[in-house]
Amino acid sequence: MEKKKYLYLFSEGNRDMRNILGGKGANLAEMTNIGMPVPQGFTVSTEACTQYYHDGRKINDEILSDIYEYMGKMEEITGKQFGNPQNPLLVSVRSGARASMPGMMDTILNLGLNDEVVQGFAKRTNNERFAYDSYRRFVQMFSDVVMEMNKEDFERIIDQKKEQKGVKLDTELDAQDMKDLVKQFKGLYLEKMGKEFPSNPKEQLIEAIKAVFRSWDNPRANVYRRMNEIPYDWGTAVNVQAMVFGNGGENSGTGVAFTRNPATGEKALFGEYLINAQGEDVVAGIRTPSPISHLKDQMPKVYEQFSEIAERLEQHYQDMQDMEFTIEDGKLYMLQTRNGKRTAAAALKIAVDLVDEGMIDEKEAVLRVDPKQLDSLLHPQFDAQALKAAVPIGKGLAASPGAACGQVVFNAKDAQTAVKSGRMKQVILVRLETSPEDIEGMQVAQGVLTVRGGMTSHAAVVARGMGTCCVSGCGEIVVDYTHRCFTLGGNCYHQGDWISIDGSTGKIYGEAIPTVKATISGYFERFMKWADETREMLVFANADNPADAQQALDFGAQGIGLCRTEHMFFDSARIRAVREMIVARDKEGREKALAKLLPYQQSDFEAMYKVMGERPMTIRYLDPPLHEFLPTKDEEIADLANELGVLSTDLKNVIRSLKEINPMMGHRGCRLAVSYPEIAEMQTTAVINAALNVSKEIGISIEPHIMIPLIGDVHELKFVKDIVVKTADKLIKKAGSDMKYQVGTMIEIPRAALTADEIAAEADFFSFGTNDLTQLTFGFSRDDAGKFLGYYYDNKIYENDPFAHLDRTGVGKLVQMTATLGRQTKPNIGLGVCGEHGGDPTSIEFLQKMGLDYVSCSPFRVPIARLAAAQAAIKNGRN
């Protein structure tokens, strides 16, 4: 067997080798190949990292000897020797995964120094202070980054030294001070680590490489990976590069720069640099760097060379570059280049500009913007300046994006009265958790903050639908409804106190932070037009009321994929009739109550059709268990009993009889229509009459789409469909109309997916309810999973939340089966998704592969879905 190659000189790689070399390594190799001035070195591959974990967190002998061999090659290339005081080779060690990962170990500089080498280095550079400064930096960095010692202990020693010398700046310390510091640092190391600081450069190197490997698995990296869907098994590469020094004098320096402005997208070099400094000084912020344009005056030749390189790199990579460079004694070295991170606004401008400049085509442009970024264009954000000064008091889940600032209220009624009376202009609704009864309160609130509930809790789902900012599941909050206050971070906040929450980060602030409104630039329109032209799947929205429907259309939705009918029932005028229906003892009583609901429901649909016109709108019949509509508190029950003219004890018995052990798997969905066909009759009457009326009134031709939820068996669908068809046909005939309509079903029960061939015979379309399908396929309730999912992430059993990103292996197999079986029976059956995953780019990519016709998501995710679907179509076409 051929020996596996784990190490690559920069001259052996190229930009296409990201998977093995990581992003940093691949780009260093690429720059080397195209003749840029890059300090040479080598990359320990991501496969070596995987091997390290496979070997039980050990670097095996084979890879160890490879590393030594490649150090030898580096020595040849640089003409210097690792550990040789006469002509020492010093190196930097940096992590570099396939995708940029801020959670990991970053950089160790000056590795290779020890008590002997530093002397030679001092002689060679003829600068003792510089040499010992480099050495103390190395000891400090190694101790902190590699050995995870406390950073502040070292800072304290430096501060003591400065105090003792009566100086303020590090630069005021001299060579002897640096020597003292090194000594003290090593003493601290011995004390804390129980062994001497490693003087053998090879040992330093191996420890540093191991530290990079280890950092792949630290908690921050794991969290970042989960958030960004980076698989654990990718591993990270390690780059070992010859040091160049920007801190050797006034003819040296270091800096970072972008080829375009990462905040605005403006085409001009943007960045900053420091003379006589090492990279960490720029970051540390002790000295203020100069804008890159000043370099033009300070070092014109270097600036000219750098400008040329920057332009060449942008041309080469055909994207805005983010570069690091060092000037050593007047000579420019490139330490890194990568596609630069940018704001959403900049991303749009750059993508459009690159097309206008002829550098990329429109499809490529569409791929250049991260769909998730668009969120920030659609929601208010905190004023950036004000945010800088703010300190969060806690953190929950980033459940619905945007920033909000308002006065605390604790229930929906208070929210409504406070806002309607004008007593408060902006409120944040703080709840243990929300329920459908809170909707009207959520509508008037700037933001919603809950103690319990995950990313798909009621609060999160409804808030995303409304485009309202929401932070959910902040378990540290202790709410006291009685005294209308909550405690968090040691402080108590009362009703009326100002707080701010950031639904994009989950952060909570105990103060008012001003927000700025969302703004959409002209680039957005142009860019989204390209996306829409490329897209194959339709993008619909989930909307239950005319305002949401209009919002969805404004955001480019092509129809409504899910109009839930139950939300319409919570309005106080209607809920009474709903409750009357539930409490009714017989069909007659139910029909009487339903007759009261009918006009409301019909006018709801009429209003929706007036907004939507002929665009498709899928109306889902009553889904939740009936007990959700009933009060739970004794006094509310008594009130209701009084209203309905029944005994309180009787009403309590009804409520008790409706109680379920596992309500998610209880009497809901089409099971309600099977038990009480009169509900489906009423809903059909409302839909069909509304469509007939609006069609006639504004002279259009509406085709209602009726969707039956929770189907698990074809006979079940047939039974409910028969009621729908019988009712609808009678009304259409009576109206002398030839209106067409469709009857379809949700696919959200595993059995529906497994028997999709049978069900397709009775369905005009399938819409995947991926939330429930995920719950049942995994066998866990999203309301309860919070208790154990943490352990699953910690132990890497799950890398992702299956409610956020569609599980391709299990749930995805059911989606695929459904599509295949359904089309087998009915080749043109409509296929779409109306669960939360319909707005998730990763899931959309999979759904495109499955050949679905549409996705449907909350209105505020429509632009994201449009872009994600376009990208999915392009990627799918390329495979």
Give me the active site residues, please.
458, 834
Six token digits for residue 206: 């191996």
Q: Which is nearer to a second copy, 594 or 811 (CB)?
A: 811
Distance of closest approach, residue 455 Cβ to a second copy, in angstroms:
16
Distance of closest approach, residue 713 Cβ to a second copy, in angstroms:
6
Distance of closest approach, residue 753 Cβ to a second copy, in angstroms:
9
Report the 10 Å Cβ neighbour count for 52: 23
Positions touching a second copy (CB under 8 A) are 660-667, 671, 674-675, 710, 712-713, 715-716, 719, 748-751, 754-755, 758, 772, 775-781, 783-784, 787-788, 791-792, 795-798, 807, 809-811, 813-814
Six token digits for residue 67: 């590393």
Closest CA to 41 of 310, 333, 330, 306: 333
393 touches 449 (CB < 8 A): no
Distance of closest approach, residue 816 Cβ to a second copy, in angstroms:
10
Burial of 191 (0-12, 13-18, 19+ CB in 10 A): exposed
C-alpha torsion angle, residues 672, 674, 677, 679 (rounded to 10): 20
Measure CA of the first residue to CA of the last residue in the chain; give whole Å.
32
Q: In angstroms, rounded to a whole number, what is the distance separating the alpha carbons of residues 827 and 823?
A: 4
Q: What element of type H or E holds 466?
A: helix 458-466
Q: Which is nearer to a second copy, 496 or 786 (CB)?
A: 786
Distance of closest approach, residue 780 Cβ to a second copy, in angstroms:
5
Q: Which is nearer to a second copy, 695 or 774 (CB)?
A: 774
In this structure, is the dihedral angle defined by the CA atoms of residues 35, 37, 40 and 43, taken in order, positive or negative? negative
Q: Which is nearer to a second copy, 548 or 772 (CB)?
A: 772
At 216, phi and psi to the nearest 5?
A: -60, -25
At 175, phi and psi to the nearest 5?
A: -55, -45
679 touches 594 (CB < 8 A): yes
Distance of closest approach, residue 670 Cβ to a second copy, in angstroms:
10
Q: Which is nearer to a second copy, 255 or 453 (CB)?
A: 453
Q: Which is nearer to a second copy, 86 or 820 (CB)?
A: 820
Distance of closest approach, residue 776 Cβ to a second copy, in angstroms:
5
Beta-strand ranges (E) seen in 433-488 are 447-450, 469-472, 478-480, 485-488
874 touches 534 (CB < 8 A): yes
Residues 6+ apart with CB under 8 A from 464: 399, 400, 470, 839, 858, 860, 861
Q: In angstroms, rounded to a whole number, what is the distance separating the alpha carbons of residues 93 and 105?
A: 10
Q: Which is nearer to a second copy, 309 or 651 (CB)?
A: 651
Q: In angstroms, rounded to a whole number, what is the distance separating the alpha carbons of residues 166 and 7?
A: 49
In this structure, is the dihedral angle defined by the CA atoms of residues 804, 459, 489 and 790, taken in order, positive or negative? negative
Q: In angstroms, rounded to a whole number, what is the distance separating the alpha carbons of residues 803 and 454?
A: 10
3-state secondary structure of 707: strand
Q: Which is nearer to a second copy, 137 or 668 (CB)?
A: 668
205 touches 93 (CB < 8 A): yes
- HEC string of 306-319 equals HHHHHHHHHHHHCC
Residues 6+ apart with CB under 8 A from 549: 541, 543, 560, 608, 611, 612
3-state secondary structure of 207: helix
What residue type is assigned to position 193 of the chain? Answer: M
Q: In angstroms, rounded to a whole number, what is the distance separating the alpha carbons of residues 447 and 427?
A: 7
Distance of closest approach, residue 754 Cβ to a second copy, in angstroms:
5
Q: In angstroms, rounded to a whole number, what is the distance separating the alpha carbons of residues 853 and 870?
A: 13
Residue 617 falls in which region: left (phi positive, over 0), alpha (psi -120 to 50) or beta: beta
3-state secondary structure of 552: helix
242 touches 39 (CB < 8 A): yes
> Which DSSP category does 569 fall into?
G
Distance of closest approach, residue 817 Cβ to a second copy, in angstroms:
9
Distance of closest approach, residue 679 Cβ to a second copy, in angstroms:
12
Distance of closest approach, residue 566 Cβ to a second copy, in angstroms:
18
Q: Which is nearer to a second copy, 233 or 266 (CB)?
A: 233
30 touches 14 (CB < 8 A): yes
Q: What element of type H or E holds 429?
A: strand 427-431
Distance of closest approach, residue 629 Cβ to a second copy, in angstroms:
16
